[in-house]
Amino acid sequence: MRSPVRRSTRRGVTGAGLAALLLAGGAVGCSKTAADRSPDMAPAAAVAAAAKKTQDITSLRYRMAGEMPGEGTVEAEAAMTTEPQAMSMKMTSSTSGGTVQLRLVGKALYLNGGPGTAKELGGKSWVKLDMSALGGAGADLTANAMGAAEADKNPAAETAFLTGAKDVKKVGTETVDGVRTTHYAGKVTLADVRAAAKSEGKATAEQRERSVGQYEKMGVDAITMDMWVDGDHRAKRFRMRGEGDKGPLDLTVTFLGLNRPVTVTAPPAKDTTDLAELMKSAQG
User: Cα(12)–Cα(115) distance, rounded to whole angstroms?
Assistant: 10
**In this predicted model, what pLDDT tens digit does every residue of 134-149 receive, in sequence order?**
554 444 444 444 444 4
User: In this structure, how many other beta carbons lie within 10 angstroms of the beta carbon of residue 28?
Assistant: 18
The pLDDT of residue 281: 67
Give dist(CA 126, CA 268) in Å, integer.
9
CA-derived radius of gyration, the chain:
19
Instruction: Place 283 in a pLDDT band, splitting at 50, 70 and 90.
Output: low
Per-residue pLDDT tens over the stretch 67-118: 988 888 989 999 998 888 899 999 888 877 778 899 999 888 898 887 777 7
Question: Which of 51, 72, 75 has its CA nearest to residue 63?
Answer: 75
Strand extents, DSSP E, the chain: 59-68, 72-81, 86-93, 99-105, 108-112, 126-130, 169-176, 179-189, 222-230, 235-244, 247-258, 272-274
278 pLDDT band, cuts 50/70/90, is confident
pLDDT at residue 241 tops 90: yes
For position 156, what pLDDT does the model report? 67
Greater pLDDT, 127 or 150: 127
Question: Before 84, cis peptide (omega within 30)?
Answer: yes
pLDDT of residue 180: 96
Task: Give start and end residues of each alpha helix (H) in 114-271.
Answer: 115-120, 137-145, 148-151, 190-197, 202-217
> 4-279 in CATH: which number?
2.50.20.20
Mean predicted lDDT score pLDDT of the chain:
78
For residue 172, the model assigns a pLDDT of 96
Q: What is the pLDDT of residue 154?
A: 60
The average pLDDT across 1-21 equals: 41
- Residues 158-162, mean pLDDT to the nearest whole number: 90
Max CA-CA distance within the chain? 67
What's the first-to-final CA gap in the chain, in angstroms? 15
For the chain, the structural domain boundaries read 4-279
Whether the CB-CB separation of 267 and 216 falls below 8 Å is answered with no
- Under the banding of pLDDT at 50, 70 and 90, the label for residue 153 is low
Over range 4-28, report the average pLDDT.
38
pLDDT of 155: 64
Quote the percentage of the chain above a pLDDT of 90. 36
Nearest to 108 by CA among 71, 69, 145, 151: 151
Question: What pLDDT sits at residue 257?
Answer: 84
pLDDT in tens, 161-209: 999 999 999 999 999 999 999 999 999 999 999 888 877 777 777 778 8
Q: Could you write out the DSSP letters of every residue in 23-51?
A: ---------HHHHHHGGGS-HHHHHHHHH
Q: What is the distance between the alpha carbons of residues 22 and 64, in angstroms, rounded to a whole number?
A: 8
What average pLDDT does this structure show over 200-227?
85
Q: What is the mean pLDDT of residues 44-50?
A: 93
pLDDT over threshold 70, residue 211? yes
